[in-house]
Amino acid sequence: MGEKRDVPKPLKKVLDWDVVATEKFVKYVDQKYGPLTKFKSIMKGLEISCHGIPWLVGTATFIFFFDNPSVRQLLVNIFLALILDIIIVAVLKAVSRRRRPSDNKDDMFATVSVDKFSFPSGHATRAVMLSFLIPFQYSLWMIITLALICWSLAVCISRVLLRRHHILDVAGGMCIGILEACLMSLLWLSPEGAQGLVNFFLDETQVGASFDV
């Protein structure tokens, strides 16, 4: 995975433009609103808020903590969406093998081997997927929908400003996230389907710690 590959000239021109555009964008924001270091704790918080491990562990825990059918349906479908997202991003990263920006600091929480690659941004795919998928399936208050969208946009912008990704890595991740949300909307499990999947992994007659919500 570490060998150098020949990149087609048209693609190389796009990637070179992306590097320059990313540098100019970060420098512009730093000069106009910076220094960016004073926002680093906020951007790190956004990074953690969309990290795959807390989302997976938290969702899996709550699936078996609550036994309300509608709540469990939501949690099971989100868990499946997260698994789908992880698989798609891992495959694309392994195929593309684009390096992260040269001044990226290797201080991300709980990374795996493919995380050293930059395209697509997994945080962008996950944030956009969730911010589209949940409103697709539920009639939320407008303020909640706006909060989800603002959170996903903040996560995406922070990926560039933290120097984790180039602009096209994030833009590509956002597009993939929308497609993932559309796909999961088609595959969305009913309450009965979600419960059946849970029963496949757990005999609930042996579980006495469930809470009725």
Q: What pLDDT does residue 199 have?
A: 84
Q: What pLDDT does residue 24 have?
A: 95
Mean pLDDT of successive 10-residue stretches along the chain, which has 213 residues: 67 92 94 86 91 91 88 94 95 91 71 74 95 89 93 96 94 97 94 88 52 40
Q: What pLDDT does residue 171 have?
A: 97
> Is residue 123 annotated as part of the catalytic site, yes or no?
yes
Q: Where are the domains of the chain?
A: 12-99+117-196
Q: What pLDDT does residue 182 have?
A: 95
- Which of 123, 159, 164, 166 is catalytic? The answer is 123
> pTM here?
0.86
> Is residue 165 annotated as part of the catalytic site, yes or no?
yes
DSSP, residue by residue, the chain: --S--PPPHHHHHHHHHHHHHHHHHHHHHHHHH--GGGGHHHHHHHHHHT-HHHHHHHHHHHHHHB--HHHHHHHHHHHHHHHHHHHHHHHHHHHH-PBPPTT--S--SS--GGGGB-SS-HHHHHHHHHHHHHHHHS---HHHHHHHHHHHHHHHHHHHHTTSS-HHHHHHHHHHHHHHHHHHHHHPPPHHHHHHHHHHH--GGG----B--
- Which of 98, 165, 168, 177 is catalytic? The answer is 165
